[in-house]
Amino acid sequence: MSLYRDTNYTQPYPAGQPVTLIAGSSLYVGVSVEESEAERFVVVLEDCYTTESPSPDNLPQTYMIQDRCPTNRTQVTVEESGSSLRASFSALLQGDYRYIFLHCSLSLCDQRSSSCTPVCSRRRSRSVSKSIRLKPLTIGPITWAQSLE
Q: What is the pLDDT of residue 102?
A: 93
8 A C-beta contact, residue 56 and residue 18: no
116-128 pLDDT tens trace: 989 887 654 445 4
**Above pLDDT 70, what percent of the chain?**
84
Asked if residue 109 has pLDDT above 60, the reply is: yes
d(CA 42, CA 33): 9
Q: What is the rounded average pLDDT of the residues 83-98?
A: 84
Asked if residue 140 has pLDDT above 70, the reply is: yes
d(CA 31, CA 139): 11
Q: What is the rounded average pLDDT of the residues 8-14?
A: 92
For residue 70, give every residue at least 6 positions away whose Cβ sits within 8 Å of its Cβ, in sequence order, or none: 64, 76, 77, 78, 89, 120
d(CA 93, CA 117): 25
User: What is the CATH T-level fold of the domain 2-144, as seen in this structure?
Assistant: Immunoglobulin-like (2.60.40)
18-46 pLDDT tens trace: 888 887 889 999 998 886 666 788 999 99
The full set of domain ranges for the chain reads: 2-144
